[in-house]
């Protein structure tokens, strides 16, 4: 699925439309991209991926609970993985492959902290600190890019 979505986002007009709408919706509208259709399609793909993730998670733990995956460290790790991988929270930048690399970094950090005997609170603090650092770097680089343009 990663290879397919990576190909869709980099090699198809639909993928370029997603990045265009995410980066600047007004510019995308002016070049003729249907913003509503692109957003609905993107959210549909995200919903499908969440459903697949829920099915995989439920089969992995062999149980289903209403709040099994709600909030907590899983959400922080997912957002952190995307941002560390280079996906901008402000839209228009990112890659499926880089998000996978970000997930490996977050997973390695969690595994290393587990092996060192750190508590769950320590893991959340380290993950939050890395996420804060990644978002700060993204915001600073976005500001410098905007100033040069």
Q: What is the pLDDT of residue 98?
A: 84
Tell me what pLDDT residue 41 has: 94
Instruction: Kindly state the percentage of the chain with pLDDT values over 70.
Output: 89
**pLDDT value for 101:** 87
Quick count: other Cβ atoms within 10 Å of Cβ 78?
16
- For residue 31, pLDDT over 80 is answered with yes
What is the pLDDT averaged over residues 57-75?
Answer: 71
The answer to whether the beta carbons of residues 31 and 20 sit under 8 Å apart is: yes
For residues 135-140, give the mean pLDDT. 80
């Amino acid at each position: 699925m990663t290879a397919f979505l990576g190909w869709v986002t980099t090699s198809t007009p639909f993928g370029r439309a997603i990045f265009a709408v995410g980066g600047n919706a007004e510019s995308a509208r002016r070049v003729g991209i249907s913003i509503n259709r692109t957003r609905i399609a993107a959210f549909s793909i995200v919903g499908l991926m969440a459903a697949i993730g829920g099915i995989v998670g439920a089969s992995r733990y062999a149980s289903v609970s209403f709040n099994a995956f709600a909030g907590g460290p899983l959400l922080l790790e997912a957002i952190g993985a995307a941002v560390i991988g280079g996906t901008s929270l402000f839209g228009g930048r990112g890659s499926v492959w880089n998000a996978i690399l970000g997930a490996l970094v977050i997973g390695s950090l969690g595994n290393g902290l587990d092996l060192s005997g750190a508590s769950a609170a320590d893991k959340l603090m380290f993950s939050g600190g890395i996420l804060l650092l990644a978002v700060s770097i993204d915001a600073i680089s976005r500001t410098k890019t905007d100033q040069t343009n």
